[in-house]
Amino acid sequence: MRPIYTRAEILQIRKKLKAEKKKVVFTNGCFDVLHAGHVDYLNKAKAAGDVLILGLNSDASVKKIKGEKRPIVPQEERAFILSNLKAVDYVTLFDEDTPQEIIGELIPDVLIKGADWSIDKIVGRDIVEANGGEVKTISFVTDQSTTNIIQTIIERYGK
C-alpha cells in the first residue's frame, strides 16, 4: 500500500469507486501524534461506508493551524502510519487551511468530522449535501488529544 496518493491519483480512484457504486466516506485532520481516540474515530468513520479516504493536513497546513512547533510527526510518517490502519483505505495530503477544495473535487458520499464540530460549521457540508450525500459527526470515546499528550510530556519531562 502506498502511503500518500496525489490529488490526481485520488480523483481517479474516486471516479473508479463511483463507477463501482461504492459508498465513499471522507474525513480529514492533522493526526499528529496518533492515539486511541484517532483509531476509534477512524474505525467509526469507515463503518459509515465502503471506502474511507483520509485528507491529511500537510506539514505546512498543520503549522498554520496549530502553530510553529507542530507537527511533531512529519507528514510522510503520519501518512504511513494512517495508511496502515485497517480502517483507512487511502490517504492524500492537502496544503490548504481547510479541506473545502478537495471535498469539492471528490464529492464524497459521506463527510465525517468529530462531534466537536457542529454540523452547520463543517467545511464542505454544502457541497456534499447538494450532491445527495450526508454529513455526520462522531462522538469521541476518550479524552485523548495530541495537545493533551504533548502537555503531559512537558509536565513529566520538562521543556
* More confident call, 147 vs 44: 44
In this prediction, residue 123 carries a pLDDT of: 96
CATH top class, domain 7-157: alpha beta
Q: Taking 80 as the threshold, does the pLDDT of residue 41 lie above it?
A: yes
pTM over 0.85: yes
Domain ranges of the chain: 7-157
pLDDT of 85-144, one tens digit each? 999 999 999 999 999 999 999 999 999 999 888 999 999 999 999 999 999 999 877 667
Residue 85 is placed in which grid cell?
490502519
Q: What pLDDT score does 57 carry? A: 97
CA contacts within 13 A on the Cβ side of 79: 20
3-class secondary structure per residue, the chain? CCCCECHHHHHHHHHHHHHCCCCEEEEEECCCCCCHHHHHHHHHHHCCCCEEEEEEECHHHHHHHHCCCCCCCCHHHHHHHHHCCCCCCEEEEECCCCCHHHHHHHCCCEEEEECCCCHHHCCCHHHHHHCCCEEEEECCCCCCCHHHHHHHHHHHHCC
Half-sphere exposure of 88 (CA within 13 A, CB side): 28
